[in-house]
Chains A and B, each alone.
Chain A
Amino acid sequence: MSSAPRTLPWGAPAAFAALALLPLAPFMSKYYLLLAFDALVFGAIAMSLDLLMGYTGLVSFGHAAFYGLGAYAAAVLLERGVLSLWACLGFALVVVGVYAFVVAYFATTRRGIYFALLTLIFAEVVYTFFRYTQTFGGSDGIQGLPEAMLLPGVPIDTPIKKYYLVLAYLIFGYVVCRLVVASHFGRVLVAIRENEDRARFLGYNVPRYKMGACMISALLTGLGGALYAIRASYATPDLMLWTESGEFIISVMIGGLGTLAGPIVGGVFFTLLRDKVSSYVDWYFIVIGLVLVAIVLFMPRGLVGLRSAFRLRT
């Protein structure tokens, strides 16, 4: 167990292969491709939040700010005619990284509910700035962005290209998270989750490890935000609303805390459920709420379950 080489569980490559083949399915219209994009972005972000919630024991109520800042970073560049995908992603990493560093620096000195509150407060400040000043378009945000370019002359202009872009992001994020969780660093995170004081008495600088986890999680989330702006051709302050953070948390919970794969499933499930129900009824949030309550009551370990999380397989 412990000395075995790090291997990805075989299920993951199979699932990613299935996702890669998904656009071939006859029902995959343009609409469903974009819905699949949204679902996978949501799943990937829930997964990166799981690094904090499931492995480090920290609940962030401010992931929407990382998401929204990533989106705005990409939008600002696209708006100014910088169309390179890589420039957009790089700029999003810088912007989100600087912001996340400040948030993590202050929030990781506090535990439990105070950590959650600090992340929420920082995120609300960011939201308020984008929503109520005209610096970046106020409530309209930045609209009508041009298509980003994968390489000069290769625009990402069709739903299918966007779909494969987000799939690549999801796989990248998954591999990063798996490696982190299997690393020495990841084991210390679990130790901190299990017993923060004891970890200190073993000589671990707990705030530093928490900051590391926050940064990795925030940067992955920021990348997702940048990709969303590229897919949707806009960035609006609604992306940073605290309800968005709440939906990330819900996705982690319904998918299965501390499993990485679970929150992906949870994020996808949540996005599809919202889309389906809202196409039939206006009061869709009541239906979603009931489904979520049922999951929490009858599947307390989430859709995927705790199967292996606390065993820390390598």
Chain B
Amino acid sequence: MSGEVVLEVDFVSRSFGALTALSKVDFTVRGGQVFSVIGPNGAGKSTLFNVISGLHAPTSGRVRFRGGDLTGLTPEAISRLGIAKTFQITNVFPKISAFENVRVAAQSRARVSGRLSSLWRSPDVEREVMELLSAFGLESRRDELAENLSHGEQRYLEICLALATDPTLLLLDEPTAGMTPGETKAATTLIRRIAGDRGLTLLLIEHDMSVVMGISDRIAVLHFGEKIAEGAPDEIRNDPAVIEAYLGGAED
């Protein structure tokens, strides 16, 4: 499916009362791409993710996933179509083990899930769960409660949960938030590699430009809810409007 259109964000606007958080944002993500959306804080990046993942309906415009319209679908329905999301603020199940966290995510794709038979059948997903934990170096932490993991481990667990739902498109909301520069570099490399291995399409939100430049195929820049630039990393780096937004307009 590489190269075909996976996600179309079609002139999406979203207002909260008088505040316009997104204004006619328009871009297309193709299969296998790493597509990043960057912008200063408050640019509307998280709102964009919330619209795509179904938390907010767009005020106008459409979001299409592999040709099907997502507008008006609930987060659980969108998840089932194959879009997974990680959260900027770690959002795991704190008082169950790392293994149980990933297992409950993986089981959401099992056939019995949501049926009466889930009362007496427990789908066996142990192998997939352990593979995911190992990929992120968490296999020795499997029985630790999620809340006792380090910040970096929780960030990885967060990604494990999303990957366990076997998505086509993975939305990553600042996956390296709160990591040291060293951890950030390791994490981005790891994410890129795992996405490549699994043939995933990635849509990544970042406010830190240095994170996305190395791993993105294509970048869109949001500023005050509008897309001010889109292109390959090199084009974005030298775009005067982007430089202005980051250096000149960052404080307002």
Contacts and interface: CB of A to CB of B under 8 A. Distances in A.
Contacts of B109: 203
A199 B161 CA distance: 10
User: How large, as a class, is the contact surface on chain A?
Assistant: 20 to 34
Contact of B119 (A185, A195, A206, A208): A185
B143 A187 contact: no
B190 to A, nearest CB: 22
A212 B113 CA distance: 13
Given A195-B93, A200-B75, A206-B76, A183 B119 contact: yes
Contacts, number: 99
Given A202-B161, A203-B80, A312 B100 contact: yes
Which of B96, B104, B145, B161 is most buried by chain A, counting CB atoms within 10 A of its CB?
A: B104
Contacts of A191: 93, 96, 104
A183 B79 contact: no
B85 A194 contact: no
Interface string B69-110: 000001110011000110100011111110110011101111
B76 A184 contact: no
A312 B143 CA distance: 11
B123 A184 contact: yes
B170 to A, nearest CB: 12
B110 A184 contact: yes
Contacts of A204: 76, 108, 113-114
Contacts of B164: 202
Interface in A183-221: 183-185, 187-188, 190-191, 194-195, 197-206, 208, 212
Interface string A248-281: 0000000000000000000000000000000000
Given A184-B123, A187-B104, A195-B92, A201 B85 contact: yes
B23 interface: no
A311 interface: yes
A200 B122 CA distance: 19
A18 interface: no
Contacts of A311: 97
Contacts of A195: 91-94
Contact of B113 (A1, A184, A190, A200): A184
Nearest to B85: A201
A56 to B, nearest CB: 13
Nearest to A3: B126
B96 A190 contact: yes
Nearest to A186: B119
Interface residues of B, number: 41
A106 interface: no
B114 A202 contact: no
A184 B99 contact: no
A217 to B, nearest CB: 13
A311 B108 CA distance: 20
B118 interface: yes
B61 to A, nearest CB: 22
A179 interface: yes
Interface string B124-142: 1010000000000000000
Contact of B76 (A3, A205, A312): A205
A298 to B, nearest CB: 22
B228 interface: no
Contacts of B123: 184
Given A184-B112, A202-B108, A2 B120 contact: no
A198 B76 contact: no
A263 to B, nearest CB: 19
A86 interface: no
A187 B119 CA distance: 10
Given A187-B104, A204-B113, A206-B76, A180 B119 contact: yes
B53 interface: yes
Contact of B104 (A180, A188, A310): A188
Contact of B120 (A179, A190, A208, A212): A179
Contacts of A212: 119
Contacts of A201: 53, 75-76, 79, 84-85
A194 B94 contact: yes
Interface string B41-56: 0000000000001000
16 contacts: A3-B126, A180-B119, A183-B119, A183-B122, A184-B122, A185-B118, A190-B93, A190-B100, A198-B161, A200-B75, A201-B84, A203-B165, A204-B76, A206-B76, A212-B119, A312-B97
The 8 closest A-B pairs by CB, nearest first: A203-B79, A194-B93, A185-B118, A184-B118, A203-B108, A310-B95, A184-B122, A191-B104
Given A194-B94, A200-B76, A204-B108, 17 more contacts: A2-B126, A183-B122, A184-B113, A184-B119, A188-B118, A190-B96, A197-B91, A198-B87, A198-B91, A198-B161, A200-B74, A201-B75, A203-B108, A212-B119, A311-B97, A312-B97, A312-B100
